[in-house]
Structure 1
Amino acid sequence: MFVRTENFRTFTKLYPIITTITAIHLVLWLIVQFSENFLHLTVGYNLLVFQGEYWRLFTPIFLHESITHLLFNSLSLVLFGPGLERLLGKVKFISMYLLGGIAANVATLLLAPVYYSHLGASGAIFALFGIYFYMVFFRPDMLNTANSQIVLVILAISLVMTFFTGNVNIYAHLFGFLAGTIMAPIFLGKGTYTRSLSQIFPNMRRSPSTAGKGQSIFWIVLIVLVALGALSRFM
């Protein structure tokens, strides 16, 4: 579910929403590099939202300032988004993605200082994590045990990075995740049975030889994402 084997052309055909969002990330990042005025007009800034510039609850979802920030969020979307776009369909996927990002920005508006400014897709991406989190425990028919283990490990790493990485919008991460978890049963429906943590991790001491090549590639990509996230605090 999380291992990408498609070539570029196939990926763009199978996942048009993720392809479009990623392209928007890149285009807007390039614009930001050459137009400081554009950034000033679109960045999330609580004071100006309170003054009526409500589009700033939406536009920051697609904005990134540094190259590491852009790569981290875009790679995260490409890695974790396709499974949900295929499962939910285009309309539901983009609806949950945008609603999660907006909810994260509303939480930032209400909880962060009035002069706080922010940008990035992290709130929307954490909403995707919230959907997966719901699937892990309440829709096990949609997510097998191996992928559930991956989701929980990634979520744990992401939460640690949230609190120990500098220049992170903690409100967006936490409330984006919460929004995704709350919306999940609305868009996915309720399952007929649940799964416990002990069922997800029945045996932590598995032989490394049981891991497939695809999973090895996944963990390499995950390590790269963690490294990019750590580097982004310095760039």
Structure 2
Amino acid sequence: MFVRNENFYTFRRNYPIVTILIAIHIILYAFTFLGNLGIFPPGQWLYVLGVGWNVAIAAGEWWRLITPVFLHADLFHMLFNSFALFLFGPPIEKMVGKYRFVLFYLLTAVIANIVTFYLQPLGYRHVGASGAIYGLLGMYVYMMIFRKELIDAASRQVVTVMVVIGIIMTFLNPRINILAHIIGLVAGMAIAAPFLRKAKNFFSIPRYAPTRYREENDDIGFDPNRWNKKRRMPFKSKTIYNILGIGFVILIVIGLLSSIFSF
């Protein structure tokens, strides 16, 4: 489920919502970064108006329960959440559909932010898509327990490892919004059932394939060795996936080190 062998064009067509969300992460981070440098002042205003600030929420600025989902504190924060969305978002978007995916993603994030508002001090500020990301993980955990037909054994192992690593990192890094992570995970598990009511197994859903791959695999003529052929990931896609995988491991290591040594 989590092996991405599409090129950019097919990924964008297969998973438009995930693509849009990642693009929003990158664009808004670029705006706010340039704003903090004084190069693009509207970027700084955007961050100030969008950050999750409990005092402002209590004063009636309710949009701050949603806007923090699209903002990030630094480059590592943005890259980590964007890659997590790239990894875990596509299967769920395909299984539940675009509109249900958007609703689930935002709902888990808002639930996490509401709990943060009520249980954290009034001066507390936060940004990031972590609550929504952990909401996706919560849906996978629900599948592992109640809808096992929707998730294969290899994917269960990946989810288990990522949940364990995520929880460890949550409590190691003092700058992380612990409530958003934990509540996002629990909320994802709690509300997953109605969203998965008509869901289909990810592997049974037709997806766009790269043109070259279709041409090689759509031959309707009889080939006695057809079933002995192995599907091979295109070289470019395989290379990109390996680079992203290595990059994700590096990000995890950096995150753990920065949490321990605070640099």
TM range (shorter): 0.7 to 0.9
The percent of aligned pairs where both chains have the same amino acid is: 43
Q: Which residue of 2 aligns with 1:18?
A: 18
> What SS does the aligned partner of 1:114 have?
coil
- The question of whether the paired residues in 2 share the 8 Å contact of 1:138 and 1:190 is answered with no
Q: Distance in 1 between matches of 2:138 and 2:57?
A: 26
Gaps spanning 5+ residues in structure 2: where?
A: 36-42, 200-232
The answer for the alignment partner of 2:9 in structure 1 is: 9
AA at the equivalent of 2:165 = I
Deviations 1:113-163 (A, max 9, x none): 110000000000000000000001110000011111111111011000000
1:32 aligns with 2:40: no
TM-score, normalized by length of structure 2? 0.76
How far apart in 1 are the matches of 2:18 and 2:257? 24
Is the CA contact (8 Å cut-off) linking 1:69 and 1:229 kept in structure 2?
Answer: no
Distance 1:32 1:177, change over 3 A: same
Change (3 A) 1:5 1:188: same
Which of these two proteins has the greater Rg computed from alpha carbons? 2
Could you tell me which of 253, 257, 260 is aligned with 1:227? 253
Tell me which residue corresponds to 2:168.
160
Which residue is 2:180 aligned to?
A: 172
- CA–CA separation in structure 1 for the residues paired with 2:16 and 2:125: 30
Deviation of the 1:188 alpha carbon: 1.1
Letter in 2 for 1:15: Y
- The CA deviation string for residues 158-192 of structure 1, in whole angstroms up to 9 with x for no partner, is 0000001231000100011111101111211399x
Deviations along 1:188-207, one digit per CA (max 9) or x if unpaired, are: 1399xxxxxxxxxxxxxxxx
Contact 1:127/1:181 (CA < 8 Å) preserved in 2?
A: yes
| 1:230 to partner: Cα distance | 3.0
- In the other structure, the counterpart of 1:210 is none
Q: State the Cα distance separating 1:46 from its structure 2 match.
A: 0.4
Superposed CA offset, 1:32-62 (max 9, x none): 1113222111100001101100000000000
Separation in 2, partners of 1:61, 1:231: 25
Contact preservation (8 Å) 1:127, 1:176:
yes
Check the 8 A contact 1:25/1:62 in 2, yes or no.
Answer: yes
Match of 2:93 among 81, 85, 94: 85
Aligned partner of 1:102 among 97, 106, 110: 110
**What letter corresponds to residue 123 of structure 2 in structure 1?**
Y
Alignment match, 1:151 = 159
Q: 1:231 to 1:17 in 2, by over 3 A?
A: farther
Read off the aligned partner of 2:3 and give its amino acid letter.
V
Partner of 1:41: 49
Measured in 2, the distance between the counterparts of 1:225 and 1:68 equals 7
Amino acid at match of 1:26: I
Secondary structure in structure 1 of the residue aligned to 2:69: helix
8 Å Cα contact 2:80-2:248 kept in structure 1: no
| Distance change (3 Å), C-alpha of 1:111 and 1:11 | same
Corresponding position of 2:208: none
Any idea what SS the aligned residue of 1:148 has? helix
List structure 1 segments (4+ residues) > 6 angstroms apart after TM superposition. none
Following the alignment from structure 2 to structure 1, what is the Cα–Cα distance between the partners of residues 99 and 79? 25
Aligned to 1:58: 66
Q: CA deviation at 1:228?
A: 4.6
What TM-score, normalized to structure 1?
A: 0.85
- Distance in 1 separating the partners of 2:95 and 2:247: 22
Shift of 1:112: 0.7
